């Protein structure tokens, strides 16, 4: 039965495949099964691979000798939809408004991945695939891909390919074809600051014991100077300087600070002194507080001295920083700056190195040609701030380059309420996939 692409996307978006919340385990499995069914319907050999976490979906076309092999990676997991009250329509009831489909995961990453899948489907309906194709769709990207590296190692022969393509990045402006040649890495850390053994009356005890929330505030404040430079000793030590052609690419980026500011809803753009906005995001490492908690959060006031405070932090990394070293330096920094009267527990979280690729290889050139034909415009060459932690392992284990071709624009509201994906991007994605396969076959 031939259904329009949009119908498939609506079905795909109905699964609340939230990887970080354990109560959604059955939804993860259902979503993976839906993908396998779709791949089989298309005539690919498809299988669910169980992991210690969420399943991995692997699908393959029948391998033909003499054709290059393309691996397409994507993720079917999504970020939590909270805060729910800010959604115009419910996050897992996909709704079409003004040419965009609204749902959690629409832009990141179900829409873009599905564009590739439906592109393959279309080619198969009309004839034969010009390349061998492998789809690897995982369910743990949004939690740092904890089980994917092992899977890639164990299946390295089955996953052997000439090139990897991913559409899980962002174009600088809508309909602007984009090859992303660099992404930042990431390293996560959580601080727990503890004081008294229980919450105390802040009048009876306040002033006589240290307040963990105040101590957490001091730790947070110690991270940056007033010009936005990270104060962790050695933090900037390993950074690879920008190459000459990159300065040009940054200068030619097809979007302005004004466009970017508008996307944020912030009063002004602000960041590390001495760098442009897009350098700050694409080529500089950062330290970001993702969450602070501790003490009374309810309505009204409560005079309490909290027993603990928690700070969630992620660092974004650039080549050649490693998550291990950055977390080690950060831990030393926090231990040194921890004020007296509290204890500090530091937990190291997930990490992944930055990715940087050469856009001038023959595959890079093939991608640029396909992007140009599909969108009718010269593609932008950019570095971005987001992370896909597994890229580095893909490259190391499979010895393959990765092409990042964006299909979502910055206004898709990834990770935010009212995430969406324009129907027309689904169509341009299908077109891009067809063009890309042709170019690859000619490579």
Residue 113 interacts with which of ligand BES, Mn ion, none, CB < 5 to 8 Å by class: none
Q: Which of residues 303-362 bind Mn ion (CB under 5 A)?
A: none
Q: Which stretch binds Mn ion (CB under 5 A): 117-125, 165-173, 339-347, 431-439?
A: 165-173
Q: How far is the CB of 12 from Mn ion (least distance, A)?
A: 14
Closest listed residue to residue 371, CA positions, set 231, 179, 195: 179
For ligand BES, the nearest residue by Cβ is: 386
User: Does the CA dihedral 201-202-203-205 come out positive or negative?
Assistant: positive
Output the smallest distance, CB 418 to ligand BES, in A: 17
CA atoms within 13 A on the CB side of 28: 27
Give the separation between CA 432 and CA 426, rounded to whole angstroms.
10
Choosing from 27, 77, 168, 384, the residue that interacts with Mn ion (CB under 5 A) is 168
Shortest gap between Cβ of 51 and ligand BES (angstroms)?
17
Stretch that binds Mn ion, among 104-112, 182-190, 192-200, 346-354 (CB under 5 A): 104-112
Which partner, Mn ion, ligand BES, none, binds residue 425 by CB below 5 to 8 Å per kind? Answer: none
Distance CA 57, CA 50 (A): 9
146 or 217: whose CB is closer to Mn ion?
146
Q: Does 109 bind Mn ion (CB under 5 A)?
A: yes
Distance of CA 236 to the CA centre of its chain: 23
Residue whose structure tokens are 């590296």? 149
Catalytic residues: 77, 141
Concatenated DSSP letters for 319-388?
TT--HHHHHHHHHHHHHHHPPTTSEEEEEEEEEE--EE--TTSHHHHHHHHHHHHHHTSPPEEEEES---
Nearest distance from C-beta of residue 305 to ligand BES, angstroms: 34
Q: Rounded to 5 degrees, what are φ and ψ at 336?
A: -65, -35
Which CB sits closer to ligand BES, 73 or 295? 73
144 binds, among ligand BES, Mn ion, none (CB under 5 to 8 A by kind): ligand BES
Count the helices and strands in the chain (H runs, E runs). Answer: 12, 18
The site for ligand BES (CB under 6 A) is made up of: 108-109, 141-142, 144, 168-170, 183, 186, 350, 384, 386-389
In whole angstroms, how close is the CB of 308 to ligand BES at the nearest point? Answer: 25
Please, are residues 286 and 230 in contact by the beta-carbon 8 Å criterion? yes
**Binding of residue 108 to Mn ion (CB under 5 A):** yes
Which residues form the interface with Mn ion (CB under 5 A)?
Answer: 108-109, 168
């Amino acid at each position: 039965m031939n259904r329009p692409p949009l119908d498939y996307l609506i079905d795909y978006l109905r699964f609340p495949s939230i990887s970080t919340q354990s109560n959604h385990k059955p939804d993860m499995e259902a979503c993976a099964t839906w993908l396998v069914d779709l791949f089989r319907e298309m005539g690919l050999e498809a299988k669910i691979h169980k992991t210690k976490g969420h399943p991995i979906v692997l699908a393959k076309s029948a391998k033909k000798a003499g054709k290059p092999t393309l691996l397409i990676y994507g993720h079917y997991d999504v970020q939590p939809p909270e805060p729910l009250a800010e959604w115009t329509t419910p996050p897992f009831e996909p709704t079409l408004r003004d040419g965009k489909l609204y749902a959690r995961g629409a832009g990141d990453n179900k829409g873009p991945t599905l564009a590739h899948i439906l592109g393959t489907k279309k080619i198969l309906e009309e004839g034969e695939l010009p390349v061998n194709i492998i789809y690897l769709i995982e369910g743990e990207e949004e939690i740092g891909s904890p089980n994917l590296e092992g899977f890639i190692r164990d299946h390295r022969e089955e996953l052997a390919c000439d090139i990897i393509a991913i559409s899980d990045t962002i174009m600088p402006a809508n309909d602007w074809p984009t090859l992303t040649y660099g992404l930042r890495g990431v390293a996560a850390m959580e601080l727990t600051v503890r004081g008294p053994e229980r919450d105390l009356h802040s009048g009876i005890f306040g002033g006589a014991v240290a307040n963990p929330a105040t101590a957490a505030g001091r730790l947070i404040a110690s991270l940056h100077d007033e010009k936005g430079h990270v104060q962790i000793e050695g933090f900037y030590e390993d950074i690879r300087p920008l190459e000459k052609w990159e300065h040009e690419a940054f200068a030619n980026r097809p979007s302005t600070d004004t466009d970017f500011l508008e996307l944020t809803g912030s009063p002004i753009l602000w960041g590390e002194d001495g760098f442009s906005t897009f350098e700050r995001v694409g080529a500089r490492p950062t330290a970001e507080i993702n969450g602070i908690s501790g003490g009374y959060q309810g309505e009204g006031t409560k005079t309490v001295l909290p027993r603990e405070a928690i700070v969630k932090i992620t660092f974004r990394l650039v080549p050649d920083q490693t998550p291990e070293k950055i977390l080690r330096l950060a831990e030393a920094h926090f231990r040194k700056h921890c004020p007296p009267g509290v204890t500090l527990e530091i937990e190291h979280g997930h990490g992944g190195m930055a990715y940087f690729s050469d856009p001038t290889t023959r595959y890079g050139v093939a991608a640029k040609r396909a992007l140009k034909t599909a969108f009718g415009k010269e593609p932008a060459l950019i570095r971005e701030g987001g992370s896909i932690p597994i890229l580095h392992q893909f490259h190391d284990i499979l010895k393959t380059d990765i092409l990042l071709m964006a299909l979502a624009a910055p206004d898709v509201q990834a990770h935010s309420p009212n995430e969406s994906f324009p129907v027309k991007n689904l169509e341009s994605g299908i077109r891009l996939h067809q063009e890309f396969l042709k170019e690859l076959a000619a490579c």
